[in-house]
Amino acid sequence: MAENIIKTQNGEWEMVCGLEIHCQIISKSKIFSSASTEYGADANENVSFVDVAMPGMLPVLNEECVRQAVKTGLGLNAKINNRSVFSRKNYFYADLPQGYQITQYEYPLVGEGEVVIDLPNGETRKIGIERIHIEQDTGKSIHDINPKKSYIDYNRAGVGLMELVTKPDFRSAEEVGAFLKKLRSIVRYLGTCDGNMDEGSMRCDASVSVRPLGSLDLRPRAEIKNVNSVKFVMQAIDYEAKRQVEVYENGGSIEQQTRNFDQNTGETKFLRVKENANEYRYFPEPDLPPLVLSDEFIESVRNEMCELPDTKKERFVHELKLPHYDASVLCENKETAEFFEKAATGRDAKKVANWVMGDFFAMLNAKHLSLENSPVSAENLGALVDLISNNIINGKTAKDVFAIMVETGKAPDVIVEENGLRQVTDTKAIESIVDAVIKENPDNVAAYKGGKQNLMGWFVGQVMKQSKGTANPALVNQILKEKLG
């Protein structure tokens, strides 16, 4: 993996990186209270007395949050622990009214797993998952309204989170990017997290250290917080690894620390020396007994799972004979894959893939539409491909029909009939147009016969024009060749 080496004038270095990713669980109500999880409500509207830790309020676990986390674990080929334990992580901050976060520590819900990532060069790599535990989210602080005060909105406090910890398996920013995209695709397929990093429903902290190439020891790491897009995570990691190499090469040392990423400069900045884990004074949560799951429960969750992107991709390649690239593009999100499959059923899948990935995606992009608001249904797109395959219309007319489908939402066969666009495959009809064109253009006929072979294109154009684009181009070519000799 030559491209993963950080080369300097003085030597070669390797990056070691692991991730902690917080994924907001999709559920209607919060993990320990019955308040709504809805995003975008007015401040403190979705808050119960439990969420703000009023005296005497007790947490009651939401079964759906457990189900979602188990589903995610299964999707990452991870071990589901039949017994897990909630713990208190104690710290003081205004966005945490209890003074502690209910999380899991020694006994997480999900154990080790594995994700296969696809690298841009076509290679794949396995990334180890260390664990996933479930916990409560904190409130949101707003610091910029009042110069002397912070304002706190507890709508987010108590929303269920899955914290996923990877093994320190990443050796480049590119691998981290590929992993985040794969994870996002999997949780979106499963419907367990909406994976929007810019809205904060998926948040990533990266631990980065470097070591001389060939060395196996782990050096102190910097944890980079608050990065809200895949691109920025990759930038931050790259910057941080190079910074550390520079520090070491200048004879310095790295202390375990927390750093922030500045989107504007692309740099990471020192925030604080990493707290000692002891300072959180974890202990088992007395208000919640251990979470014990039966094998039946875990199996019932497994039975609810949908086909995941990798499996779907393989199926598209093997059953539908799609090229790998097409299958990857179409399977990246579930809705696209389902739309494609609906359109492709019973047809030449590659032809349908070309339309979906070509004119169809281009149209959605140009009109800033999402798939669900598409004016063209999967059935109609499939029917359009049928019209071409059955020689009812030619490829050129198909583009015009598609444009009308976008405008009107009508079915392609209706459009063809209404506009008289049916392809003329009647040899006699085409012959009569060809005859007329030859008769009207004696000069060009003479020139063609005199050796100007490239005039053939011009003749085809004239015939197509007179037929209003409906003539079958192959027949036109064939008849012209016969008549012009």
* Binding site residues, other proteins, CB under 8 A: 27-29, 33-36, 42-52, 54, 60-66, 85, 90-94, 141-143, 145-154, 271-272, 279, 281, 284, 286, 288-292
The answer for residues whose C-beta is within 8 angstroms of residue 352's C-beta and 6 or more apart is 340, 343, 344, 381, 382, 385
Asked if 364 and 357 touch (Cβ cutoff 8 Å), the reply is: no
Structure tokens at 359: 């004119």
259 forms beta bridges with: 224, 270
We find the least distance from the C-beta atom of residue 64 to other proteins, in angstroms, to be 4
Question: Considering only CA atoms, which of 76, 75, 82, 72 is closest in space to residue 26?
Answer: 72
Q: Which of 236, 242, 280, 278 is nearest to 258 (CA)?
A: 236
* Shortest Cβ 414–other proteins spacing (Å): 44
Minimum distance of other proteins from residue 175's CB (angstroms): 31
Task: Closer to other proteins by CB, 228 or 466: give it.
Answer: 228
Can you tell me the distance from the alpha carbon of 221 to that of 170, in angstroms, rounded to the nearest whole number? Answer: 13
* Least distance from other proteins to the Cβ atom of residue 305, Å: 18
Tell me the C-alpha distance between 309 and 328, whole Å.
Answer: 8
Least distance from C-beta 266 to other proteins, angstroms? 22
Query: Considering beta carbons, is residue 187 or 308 the nearer one to other proteins?
Result: 187
Residue number with CB closer to other proteins (2 or 145): 145
Question: In whole angstroms, what separates CA 158 from the centre of its chain?
Answer: 26
Nearer to other proteins, 282 or 361 (CB): 282
Toward other proteins, which CB reaches closer, 43 or 414? 43
Q: CB-wise, 143 or 439, nearer to other proteins?
A: 143
- Tell the smallest beta-carbon distance from residue 296 to other proteins (Å): 14
- Between 139 and 412, name the residue whose CB sits nearer to other proteins: 139
Residues 188, 195: contact at Cβ < 8 Å? yes
Distance, CA of 241 to CA of 233 (rounded, Å): 12
- Measure Cα distances from 307 to 70, 181, 317, 333 in Å: 16, 17, 15, 12
Q: How far is the CB of 28 from other proteins (least distance, A)?
A: 5
Instruction: Report the C-alpha gap between 8 and 199 in whole angstroms.
Output: 38
Rank residues 293 and 357 by Cβ distance to other proteins and give the closer one. 293
CB of 295 to other proteins, least distance (A): 14
Beta strands 267-273 and 83-84: pairing type?
unpaired
Nearer to other proteins, 40 or 214 (CB): 40
Instruction: Identify the three-state secondary structure at position 407.
Output: helix
CA torsion 306→308→313→316, rounded to 10°? -10
**What is the torsional sign of CA 62, 68, 74, 77?**
negative
In angstroms, rounded to a whole number, what is the distance separating the alpha carbons of residues 362 and 369?
A: 10
Q: Minimum distance from CB of 43 to other proteins (Å)?
A: 4
